[in-house]
Amino acid sequence: MKSKLFLQLACLLFLLLGFQFSFASFGGGSVMGRVIDPDTKAPASGVTVVLECLGNQTMVTSNDSGYYYASNLPSGIYTVTAYYMSNRSTVTDVKIVGDVQKVVDVELNVGLAINEVPIVTTRVHHDPIIDPYEITTARIPREVFTKMAITKVADITGQQPGVTDINGAFYVRGAREGSLVYYIDGGKVMDTSGSIPLCGLETYSIFTGFIPPKYGDTVGGVVVLETRNYFTASRE
C-alpha cells in the first residue's frame, strides 16, 4: 500500500517538474539595446533593428531615445542588424538561452553621405547684352538733332522711346501727365522747351528710366537742355 502511494507521488512530482521545464522553454529570451551614431554620439531614433536566427526574423524600431527591445525569442545564435536608409550595422553571434535578457548596443551612422561634387569654373568675358542705363538715357548733341526732321525742341522728346505724345502732353512710361521734369542749364524750370529755338540749343538729354540723384525725385522722366554760349559757339 505504501509502495503504491509512493509511486503515485513520484509520478505526480515528475509531471510537475516536466510542466515547469516545458513552461520555461516557451518563455523565450529577450534582447534590448541602444542605437548610437558614432560620429555625433547621439541616439538614433526610427532605426529598424532585425534579429535573425535560422531564417526566422524579429523586427523592432528604436524609440526617440534610441532604445529598442525584442522579447519572447527562442534560444539560438542571433544576428542583430540595424538599418537606416542605405546605412546598416550588424552585430553577430548573439547567444540567447532560455529567458535570459541580452544587452546589445549598435553603432550606426544615420547621416546621409553626399559624394563630392566637382565644381568647374569657367570665366567668360563679354559685354552685357542690355545696358539698362543706356536704353533709358539719350544724349543728343547739336550735330545730330540739327539733321533731324524737327522744327522745335519738343519734337525731340516726342520721338524718344518710352515717351507718348497725346495732344502735346508727354507721358513717360505710363506716368501721369506733368511728371516730366525740365532742366535748362542746370536749373529746374517749367516746360519751356517749346520756346527754345533749335539754333540756341547745344545738347539735349532725356532720362526715362534711371534718373541721377542730382535731378531730384520724380516718377516720370527728366529732360536736360544745355543752351549755346560763347565757348560752344566759338568751337565751330
Cβ-based neighbour number of residue 80 at 10 Å: 23
In this predicted structure, what is the pLDDT of residue 151?
Answer: 83
- Write down the pTM of the prediction: 0.42
Which is it for strands 101-103 and 29-36: parallel, antiparallel or unpaired?
parallel
Q: Which CATH class is domain 30-107?
A: mainly beta
The whole-number average pLDDT for the span 175-183 is 83
In this predicted structure, what is the pLDDT of residue 123?
Answer: 67
What is 132-234's CATH number?
2.170.130.10
Segment among 42-46, 66-70, 155-159 with least mean pLDDT: 155-159
Domain ranges across the chain? 30-107, 132-234
The whole-number average pLDDT for the span 119-140 is 66
Q: Which is higher by pLDDT, 47 or 230?
A: 47
Question: Rounded mean pLDDT of the chain?
Answer: 78
In this predicted structure, what is the pLDDT of residue 52?
Answer: 93
Q: Which helix (H) or strand (E) holds 95?
A: strand 87-96
- Sheet of strand 137-141: strand arrangement: 137-141, 201-207, 221-227, 180-184, 187-189
